[in-house]
Amino acid sequence: MRARLPHVLAEFVMFVLKQGWAALFGASLLIGLIVSDRIWQPDWALARYDALLIYALGLQVLFLALGLESWREVRVILLFHLTGTAMEIFKVQAGSWAYPGPGLIKLWEVPLFSGFMYASVGSYMARAIRLFDMRFAPYPPFWLSVLLAVAIYVNFFAHHFLTDVRLILFAATVALYARTRITFRIGDHRYWMPLPLAAFFSSFFLWLAENVGTATRTWLYTGQVAGEMVRLAKMGSWYLLLYVSFVTVTLVMRDALEEAPAKGRSRPI
């Protein structure tokens, strides 16, 4: 591509391809949602949700066997399973959304495969950090990033009973990470992007993926019908949740964080 395309276009194509490769687990899950929605019959012995759990487990084993993920990244994915499933159980019981299909392997009306949807975010982040040789600098004091992540996570539960403080949390993410640049490598060049901007772009693509989930009737928000677009306001929830996800990843991948500003030449993307 570099021999045949202009430099800017070649770098963009490589960026997109590497992003797609980093998101392979999540994309495979979305394909599973779409295909199972199209072919599944209500009279089949195996429920669709249970089949999706088997499919997701098979993907995880395959990724490990092929070396697409390391055991360190699997630890990240396990953390996402635990935090994601806890949130799913609470939100379903609170009536925020529901899983309308039948399934044997459920906890409090939440099919266990749902944890893999959160895990796919962790898989993407861990793989992207490795594939792009990402560095985050200057990174704020780690304890502050953990404190903010905990506050965001708690607010997802507490706003059902107390005042929703997400506007304060939005401002806190910008204040804490405004100076933090994500530097990453494409070929022989390094580029950078402000971390809050990267979180915003990522929240948009997660919103698109969420529309696949509701369009395939895998889950539905209260009052939503299949095929109806998820409200754009949900991007805000994903934006905040990405900071929880990012801190969860960095609990295992601390070597990507640097306190001092990034040195050397890098270009804004």
Rounded-to-integer distance, Cα 76 and Cα 78, Å: 5
Give the pLDDT confidence score for residue 6 in this predicted structure: 85
Mean pLDDT of 221-235: 85
Quote the percentage of the chain above a pLDDT of 90: 46
Mean pLDDT of 65-83: 82
Q: How does pLDDT run across 83-116, given as a tens digit for each residue?
A: 888 889 999 998 888 898 888 888 898 998 888 8
CA angle, 101 then 105 then 108, to 5°: 75
Coil, helix or strand at residue 221: strand
Mean pLDDT of 47-51: 93
Burial class (CB in 10 A: 0-12, 13-18, 19+), 215: middle
260 or 132, greater pLDDT: 132
Residue ranges covered by each domain of the chain = 7-268
Give the pLDDT confidence score for residue 265 in this predicted structure: 59
Give the pLDDT confidence score for residue 9 in this predicted structure: 87
Rounded-to-integer distance, Cα 153 and Cα 148, Å: 9
Which DSSP state fits 261? P
Mean pLDDT of 68-89: 83
Run of H or E residues at 98: strand 97-98
Q: Say which amino acid occupies 266.
A: S
Least confident of 26-40, 75-89, 135-149, 236-250: 75-89
Residue 194 pairs with which residues in a beta bridge? 181
Mean pLDDT of 56-61: 90
Give the pLDDT confidence score for residue 69 in this predicted structure: 80
Cβ(261)–Cβ(140) below 8 Å: no
Q: How does pLDDT run across 136-194, given as a tens digit for each residue?
A: 999 999 999 999 999 999 999 999 898 999 999 999 999 999 999 999 998 888 899 99
Give the pLDDT confidence score for residue 55 in this predicted structure: 94
Q: What is the pTM of this model?
A: 0.88
Give the pLDDT confidence score for residue 233 in this predicted structure: 87
Give me the sign of the Cα torsion angle 193, 68, 210, 238.
negative
Rounded to 10 degrees, what is the CA torsion of 182, 236, 220, 96?
120
pLDDT band per the 50, 70, 90 thresholds, residue 74: confident
